[in-house]
Protein backbone atom coordinates (compact mmCIF):
# COMPACT_ATOMS: atom_id res chain seq x y z
CA UNK A 1 0.00 0.00 0.00
CA UNK A 2 1.10 3.52 -0.77
CA UNK A 3 1.94 5.93 1.95
CA UNK A 4 -0.36 8.94 2.27
CA UNK A 5 1.16 12.32 2.77
CA UNK A 6 -0.59 15.56 3.48
CA UNK A 7 0.66 18.95 2.42
CA UNK A 8 1.52 21.32 5.22
CA UNK A 9 -0.36 24.60 5.22
CA UNK A 10 1.90 27.64 5.36
CA UNK A 11 1.14 31.24 6.18
CA UNK A 12 2.25 33.45 3.31
CA UNK A 13 2.62 37.22 3.37
CA UNK A 14 3.00 39.37 0.27
CA UNK A 15 4.37 42.88 0.82
CA UNK A 16 4.41 45.33 -2.08
CA UNK A 17 5.74 48.86 -2.06
CA UNK A 18 4.49 50.95 -4.98
CA UNK A 19 7.17 53.08 -6.64
CA UNK A 20 7.98 56.15 -4.58
CA UNK A 21 6.18 54.96 -1.44
CA UNK A 22 7.95 53.80 1.72
CA UNK A 23 4.96 52.04 3.29
CA UNK A 24 3.49 49.20 1.29
CA UNK A 25 0.38 47.13 1.11
CA UNK A 26 0.28 43.52 2.21
CA UNK A 27 -1.84 40.39 2.00
CA UNK A 28 -1.53 37.47 4.41
CA UNK A 29 -3.12 34.09 3.73
CA UNK A 30 -2.84 30.36 4.38
CA UNK A 31 -2.21 27.93 1.54
CA UNK A 32 -0.92 24.41 1.00
CA UNK A 33 1.07 25.34 -2.10
CA UNK A 34 3.07 28.23 -3.48
CA UNK A 35 0.94 28.56 -6.59
CA UNK A 36 -1.42 30.85 -4.63
CA UNK A 37 1.50 33.29 -4.23
CA UNK A 38 1.66 33.79 -8.00
CA UNK A 39 -2.11 34.11 -8.39
CA UNK A 40 -2.47 36.74 -5.65
CA UNK A 41 0.61 38.68 -6.74
CA UNK A 42 -0.75 38.88 -10.30
CA UNK A 43 -4.18 39.93 -9.08
CA UNK A 44 -3.17 42.54 -6.50
CA UNK A 45 0.42 43.62 -7.13
CA UNK A 46 1.12 43.52 -10.89
CA UNK A 47 4.10 45.72 -11.84
CA UNK A 48 5.15 46.09 -8.18
CA UNK A 49 8.23 44.61 -6.52
CA UNK A 50 6.63 42.19 -4.05
CA UNK A 51 8.41 40.48 -1.16
CA UNK A 52 7.19 36.98 -0.32
CA UNK A 53 7.39 35.50 3.17
CA UNK A 54 6.52 31.93 4.14
CA UNK A 55 5.86 31.25 7.84
CA UNK A 56 7.66 34.48 8.70
CA UNK A 57 10.81 33.73 6.68
CA UNK A 58 11.78 35.67 3.54
CA UNK A 59 11.26 33.43 0.53
CA UNK A 60 11.85 35.61 -2.54
CA UNK A 61 10.83 38.77 -4.41
CA UNK A 62 8.41 38.67 -7.32
CA UNK A 63 7.69 41.14 -10.07
CA UNK A 64 4.96 40.29 -12.56
CA UNK A 65 5.31 42.33 -15.74
CA UNK A 66 1.67 42.74 -16.79
CA UNK A 67 2.45 44.11 -20.24
CA UNK A 68 4.95 41.34 -21.02
CA UNK A 69 3.22 38.49 -19.24
CA UNK A 70 6.36 37.23 -17.51
CA UNK A 71 7.69 36.93 -13.96
CA UNK A 72 10.98 38.16 -12.48
CA UNK A 73 11.93 36.07 -9.44
CA UNK A 74 14.74 37.44 -7.26
CA UNK A 75 16.35 36.44 -3.97
CA UNK A 76 14.84 38.05 -0.86
CA UNK A 77 16.29 41.27 0.44
CA UNK A 78 18.84 40.79 3.22
CA UNK A 79 17.75 41.08 6.85
CA UNK A 80 19.35 44.52 7.18
CA UNK A 81 16.96 45.90 4.56
CA UNK A 82 13.97 44.85 6.70
CA UNK A 83 15.05 46.76 9.82
pLDDT by residue for the chain (83 residues), tens digit each? 455 545 689 999 999 976 656 668 999 999 998 899 999 998 999 889 999 999 999 999 999 887 778 899 999 987 545 44
Domain that holds residue 34: 10-78
> Is residue 1 one of the residues assigned to a domain?
no
* Number of domains observed in the structure of the chain: 1
Alpha carbon 83 to its chain centroid, in Å, reads 19
> Is residue 72 one of the residues assigned to a domain?
yes
> Is residue 5 one of the residues assigned to a domain?
no
Q: How far apart are CA 28 and CA 23, in angstroms?
A: 16
Residue 67's pLDDT is 79
Amino acid sequence: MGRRTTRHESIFRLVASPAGEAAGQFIEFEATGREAVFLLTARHFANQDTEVFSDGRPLCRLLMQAEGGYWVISPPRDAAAHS
